[in-house]
Amino acid sequence: MITLPPAVKVATRFAPSPSGELHLGNARTALFNCLLARRHGGRFVLRIEDTDADRSEQRFTAALLADLLWLELAWDEGPDRGGPAAPYHQSERSVLYQQYFEQLERAGLAYPCFCTPLELELSRRAQLAAGRPPRYAGTCRALSDAERAARLAEGRKSSLRFRVPDGRSLEFDDLVYGPQRFLTDDIGDFIIRRDNGAAGFLFSNAVDDALMQISHVLRGADHLTNTPRQRLILAALDLPIPQYGHVSLLIGPDGQPLSKRHGAASVRELREAGYASLAVCNDLFRLGHSTANNRVLSLAQMGAAFELTHLQRASAHFESSQLRHWQSEWVQSLTVEQARIWLAPLLPAGLAPEQADAFVTAVLPNVVLAEDARLWREVVFGEALTYEPPALEAARAAGAEFFRAAAAAIGTQTGGTGGRLDLAAVSDATGRRGAALFTPLRAALTGRLHGPQLAPLLAAMPAARARARLLQFARP
């Protein structure tokens, strides 16, 4: 564990851009930030980075909040909750940003750039063609006041660029990737305010981290190269610089960034597929973060077990089989009561609580997703049972005599309506044991050859229905 000096008040944030659904990679970022805050009794802030009006949509913000709440990653400050650094939508913070733009301009640390997209593109291509990494050529860097005034008078649109100092080496420690070194000469002057007046990501993101007193930023490794730029901005404004930790990217089994091609890649899709939020969190917790504990952990336990030093540099592979594993572990960790609540939407209306519990107890070992219980609901409570051909064959092969004995041996559970079969009596009467006894019974009662253990399943099935199913094979 990294011991933080007592003076450091841990505050983390999740800062999604509402331009799409909450992707698993981002959900993992949210989880890690939330856990780090909980680990140290700190604040977890949610900030909506919606300065790009063309790409941000209100419906995505609403969906992001809903997905985070479903994952139970509740924020201490943010939309809907407010907090001392409100507002938490960047689109409502432009007045604040303006002050800092002016501060930088006054100090000569930012300048208006009049280059058109076409000019920038041509310059980029020329640099690439010359085998150089493209960066801003500095065209507007040294314009005189008169030149600037003339361009403004022509009504030309301008963005604002940060003046990156020449010839400096920027060094810092990343919480995950360790010591980093960047040369300012490799970094072109970058845009901090777009020509439509909106703050650029690098700027608003860095400034807000400082204003919201964020101590630790955990984010995707694709942002690592943004960090030297953001550190420059904060230093220029004399604002506090958080500690940055970059989390390895989430990739699919084929090594490509996780996307739709790998199946469900958004939180919504997993929720709709019937995954439990805690199963999703348990899976994400192990992606790029190692832990010795292989049990299903509650969020509080994950918070206690989260270690910055356990974040890995290698890309994390998302495997849907692993997610299924955690889902299954989660299901098996449920108490009967929890399972009954979870499966409630699938249970027939008006079911007595004991019968619901008997059903849940019987089917749980065979259920991974809630939907899996649907089949067994039909088997146990459905009026008409569809028999799979091999099951029909197995039942018929046992003969009428066998089922007469079985039907005679069926009684009711004490204190309930569910069935109870006196197996010893059937065995005595028919001389069958083991599979020869169980297979035809299972086949006749459930219409299939495999499934949950028979006795618990029968305990949930109304005895009259079980008897009727056995009797239909008892006719000569």
Q: How far is the CB of 188 from ligand GLU (least distance, A)?
A: 20
448 scored as a contact of ligand GLU (CB under 6 A): no
Return the HEC string of the chain.
Answer: CCCCCCCCCCEEEECCCCCCCCEHHHHHHHHHHHHHHHHCCCEEEECECCCCCCCCCHHHHHHHHHHHHHCCCCCCEECCCECCCCCCEHHHCHHHHHHHHHHHHHCCCEEEECCCHHHHHHHHHHHHHCCCCCCCCCCCCCCCHHHHHHHHHCCCCCEEEECCCCCCEEEEEECCCEEEEEEHHHCCCEEEECCCCCECHHHHHHHHHHHCCCCEEEEEHHHCCHHHHHHHHHHHCCCCCCEEEEECCEECCCCCECCHHHCCCEHHHHHHHCCCHHHHHHHHHCCCECCCCCCCCCHHHHHHHCCHHHECCCCEECCHHHHHHHHHHHHHCCCHHHHHHHHHHHCCCCCCHHHHHHHHHHHHHHCCCCCHHHHHHHHHHCCCCCCCHHHHHHHHHHHHHHHHHHHHCEEECCCCCEEEECHHHHHHHHCCCHHHHHHHHHHHHHCCCCCCCHHHHHHHCEHHHHHHHHHCCCCC
Cβ proximity to ligand GLU: between 17 and 159 the closer is: 17
Cβ proximity to ligand GLU: between 49 and 283 the closer is: 49
Nearest residue to ligand GLU on Cβ basis:
219
Q: How far is the CB of 211 from ligand GLU (least distance, A)?
A: 14
Q: How far is the CB of 169 from ligand GLU (least distance, A)?
A: 23
Q: How far is the CB of 227 from ligand GLU (least distance, A)?
A: 9
Q: Of 278, 447, 444, 457, which Cα lies nearest the Cα of 366?
A: 457
223 scored as a contact of ligand GLU (CB under 6 A): yes
- Using the rule CB under 6 A, give the single segment among 12-20, 100-108, 290-298, 356-364 that binds ligand GLU: 12-20
C-alpha–C-alpha distance, residues 410 and 421, integer Å: 4
17 scored as a contact of ligand GLU (CB under 6 A): yes
243 scored as a contact of ligand GLU (CB under 6 A): no
Q: How far is the CB of 221 from ligand GLU (least distance, A)?
A: 11
Cβ proximity to ligand GLU: between 213 and 427 the closer is: 213
Cβ proximity to ligand GLU: between 102 and 173 the closer is: 173
**Total number of residues that touch ligand GLU (CB under 6 A):** 8
- Using the rule CB under 6 A, give the single segment among 13-21, 52-60, 303-311, 342-350 that binds ligand GLU: 13-21
Cβ proximity to ligand GLU: between 208 and 357 the closer is: 208
Contact with ligand GLU (CB under 6 A) among 28, 93, 163, 219: 219
Q: How far is the CB of 33 from ligand GLU (least distance, A)?
A: 9
Q: How far is the CB of 111 from ligand GLU (least distance, A)?
A: 25
Cβ proximity to ligand GLU: between 17 and 61 the closer is: 17
- Using the rule CB under 6 A, give the single segment among 9-17, 123-131, 169-177, 272-280 that binds ligand GLU: 9-17
Cβ contacts of residue 188 below 8 Å, gap of 6+? Answer: 134, 135, 136, 137, 138, 164
Cβ proximity to ligand GLU: between 15 and 46 the closer is: 15
Between the CA atoms of 57, 190, 150 and 52, what dihedral angle is there, to the nearest 10 degrees? 0
CA 149 to chain centre: 50
Sign of the Cα pseudo-torsion (326, 318, 346, 394, in order): negative
Q: How far is the CB of 19 from ligand GLU (least distance, A)?
A: 8
46 scored as a contact of ligand GLU (CB under 6 A): no
Place of tokens 């969020």: 299
16 scored as a contact of ligand GLU (CB under 6 A): yes
Q: How far is the CB of 56 from ligand GLU (least distance, A)?
A: 10
Cβ proximity to ligand GLU: between 38 and 219 the closer is: 219
Q: How far is the CB of 230 from ligand GLU (least distance, A)?
A: 8
Cβ proximity to ligand GLU: between 13 and 38 the closer is: 13
Residues 180-209 contacting ligand GLU, CB under 6 A: 205
- Using the rule CB under 6 A, give the single segment among 175-183, 217-225, 340-348, 384-392 that binds ligand GLU: 217-225
52 scored as a contact of ligand GLU (CB under 6 A): no
Asked if residues 197 and 160 have their Cβ atoms less than 8 Å apart, the reply is no
Asked if residues 419 and 407 have their Cβ atoms less than 8 Å apart, the reply is no
Cβ proximity to ligand GLU: between 315 and 417 the closer is: 315
Cβ proximity to ligand GLU: between 49 and 357 the closer is: 49
49 scored as a contact of ligand GLU (CB under 6 A): yes
Helix axes 320-332, 277-285, angle to 10 degrees: 130
447 scored as a contact of ligand GLU (CB under 6 A): no
Q: How far is the CB of 201 from ligand GLU (least distance, A)?
A: 6
Q: How far is the CB of 209 from ligand GLU (least distance, A)?
A: 8
Residues that bind ligand GLU (CB under 6 A): 15-17, 49, 205, 217, 219, 223
